[in-house]
Each structure stands twice: as structure tokens, then as C-alpha cells.
Amino acid sequence: MLVDSPSKQSAEPISAAPASPRRHALRALGLLVAVGVLLLVCVASIAVGAKPVPVSEVWDGLFHNTGTGNDVVIRDLRVPRTLLGLLVGAALGLSGAVMQALTRNPLAEPGLLGINAGAAAAVVTGISFFGVTSLAGYVWFAFFGAAAVSAAVYVLGGSRSATPVRLALAGTAASAALYGYINAVQLLDSAALERLRFWTVGSLSSASMDTILKVAPFIGAGLLLALLLARPLNAMEMGDDTARALGAHLNRTRVLAMVSVTLLCGAATAACGPIVFVGLMIPHVVRSFTGPDMRWILPYCTVLAPVLLLGADVIGRIVTRPSELQVGIVTAVIGGPVFIQLVRRKRMAQL
């Protein structure tokens, strides 16, 4: 559990004494290895599917378009799918790490503050009352819903006097109310239920360059903002009193962190639907070898979360050929047992 007082803080330095040069070098080397693994997973995402494509033809399809069937599959289907997986994975992993630091709750994930519920409620509204039928339309409704709920949760949580507990309680209450609304609309509108069936499971199968261009600016802004908040989030993990003593601006940090989470989760959920366990599990995995320093947790989450998401997407394409299993289902199947094993470990239980 994250600590609230300097007397209980981990031996890992937070913002004062820097880690040893050797430890910095090991972390940097590990990050390079993670980037290499991500590149391999990207190649697998492009090459593997209902129709396997040799690596040599993947290269030709990317850089020497000859108009063959494989080139069309690679350029029009698998490259957009891989790029969207990179963006969404990084957004979910980074937003999970920021929320766990912001709320000092090791079980925090994109649904805790009601962001997924807000996005889903807005999409249901768009489908049922405004006749939205395309993914490009879902993006804007989902993003607006996520932003509106984030603002409402911050106000309900006490605004200037907001605390991690108040924010979590407000998010839980908002989620319960919104999911009740979603269920009611779906029961009354069968067409909305049918169109939302795959979106609510979480999928990369509808990826297109148009969707990527719409969500990329929001995810890019959220990533940059989250990475810039590493130091104040380090201080906040030590407790409010200690953070103030270290000169951290608590309310400003909380507002900026919620803006970052809204941008990341809103855009990711809009593009693919709610995908579980990525934002919850990856920060725990990263902490197991980096310690609690957010300056390393955030970059590692940005790299390793897409590895999990794209890897799960590849598995979903293989296990049910020639059809596919939605990535949201695969991440739940993989993430559940792995996360249970992680929290059973003594070291993880103390984070």
C-alpha cells in the first residue's frame, strides 16, 4: 500500500536523494529492452492474423507497395490496428499509473473515477437519441462524456479540498448512476444495444487512420502532461503534509493529473471501448522492478502497456482462427490470474 507519512516511506528515494548511477543505468537498459520487445510485438501484430504474412512480405508491404492482397491487408488493416494499439495501450498504462499515484489506491484504474462510465453513457446517448452510427462519431461523444464526468467527480470530491478518498467515492457513485442509465437505455432501445455490443467489450478491429488521427492529439497531450507530473506525483505519494513540505502544489497537481487521465482514458475508450486490466496491472508489474519512483514508472508503463495490449490482440486473432476474439476479453483472461499472482506476493502487497 502506498504510504502516507515519511516515517513509513520505502527505502527507494522519491524526490530528494537520487538513485545510484548503477541503478539508473540498469533502469535505462531495461527501458531499452522494453522498447525492443515492443518493436517485436508490433511486427507480430502486422504479420500474424487470420492470414499469416511472412516477415519479408511485411517489409515489402510497408515500404514497397506492389498492390498485392498482402500489401492491402498490411497497409489498410494491420498497420492502423497496430498504431491504434500502441496509442491506446500507452494511454491506458499511463493513466492507470497516474490514477494510482493520485488516489494513493493500488487498485485504481480508468473506471475508478467514472471515466469509462462517462464515455459509455455519452456513446449510448449519441446512438439512441442522435442516431450516431460510425466510430468517428463515437469518438467525440465518448470524449465529451469522459471530460464531463471527470469535471463532475472533481467538484463532487470537494474541488479545492479534494482528497484521494473523496475522489474515489465520487467516481464510484458516478459510475453506479451512469451504468444504471446505460442499462436502462439499452433495454428500451434494442438498436443501441446491438451497435454497442462489440464496442463495450473492447476491440481494435475497427481501427482506421481516420480514428487514429482523431484520438492521437488528445492521447499525445495526455502523455506529455502525465510525464511532466512525475515529480509532484512522487511527492504526493508520501502524503499531503509531506508533499506540502516539499513544495508540491496539491490542488494544481490533482487538477492537471485529472486532465491528463481524462485525455488519455477518454480518447482510448472512445476509440476501442472500455478495455480492462491494462491500466490496473501494468503499473504493478513495473513497480516490481523500478520501485515507487514515478520518473521511471511512467516511461515504463508507456512502453509495456502497448506490449500487453498488442500481444493480447495477436493472441485473440490466433486462438479462434479464422474469426477473432476481442482484445478486451483476452486482456481480462490474461490479466485476472496474473494480477492475482502479483498481489499475493509479499512485496507487491506492501506497495
Nearest to 49 by CA among 81, 22, 97: 81
Q: What is the mean pLDDT of residues 258-271?
A: 87
Residue 18 pLDDT exceeds 60: no
Q: In the prediction, which pLDDT does 244 show?
A: 78
274 contact partners, CB below 8 Å, separation of at least 6: 110, 111, 116, 119, 120, 200, 202, 328
- Cell numbers for 248, please give them: 508540491
At residue 13 the predicted structure's pLDDT band, cuts being 50, 70 and 90, is very low
**Cell 514497397, located at residue:** 64
Q: Can you tell me the distance from the alpha carbon of 273 to that of 92, in angstroms, rounded to the nearest whole number?
A: 12
Q: Domains of the chain by range and CATH?
A: 78-343 (1.10.3470.10)
Q: Can you tell me the distance from the alpha carbon of 18 to that of 348, in angstroms, rounded to the nearest whole number?
A: 23
H/E stretch holding 316 reads helix 294-319
Q: In the prediction, which pLDDT does 348 show?
A: 47
Q: Can you tell me the distance from the alpha carbon of 325 to that of 249, in angstroms, rounded to the nearest whole number?
A: 45
Report pLDDT digits (tens) over 125-161.
Answer: 888 888 887 767 777 888 889 888 888 887 887 655 5
